Amino acid sequence: MTRLINFSKALEYILTADFIDAQTALKLGLVNNVYPVNELLTKAKELAQKIASKPAQAVRLALKAMQAVKELPQSQGESYEASLFALTTGTEDFIEGTSAFLQKRKPEFTHK
């Protein structure tokens, strides 16, 4: 928790064992969104579909980069992130994404 929110606030919650409700978790940045129970599955599927519509290699490398930035010292994390980005620039999906952006159209990714 101390990596996600202010240290002193995390310490307070840990030491007091106070309950963190959904709105507080949202305000603290512990969660990205809060939905009513009856919308939760729909919203989760929408997010999954949105991610799945992106180039698979770019998503995979973005996850690696985010993990590295979280765990490595800043300079090493940024260097690793740049090297992973460089891996995507030669892919068909990178070219398609760039072309689609320039042509103001929706990209058609092939995951290659």
80 found inside a domain: yes
98 found inside a domain: yes
CATH of the domain at 72: 1.10.12.10
37 found inside a domain: no
pTM of the model: 0.68
Provide the domain count of the chain: 1
Phi/psi region, residue 51 (left: phi>0; alpha: psi -120 to 50; beta: rest), is: alpha
Rg (CA), the chain: 19
31 found inside a domain: no
Give the pLDDT confidence score for residue 22 in this predicted structure: 96
Instruction: Find out whether 84 and 76 touch, Cβ atoms under 8 Å.
Output: no
Please, what sign has the CA dihedral across residues 98, 101, 103, 106? positive
Range of the domain at 108: 51-112
63 found inside a domain: yes
17 found inside a domain: no
Dump pLDDT digits (tens) for 4-38: 888 999 999 999 999 999 999 999 999 999 999 99
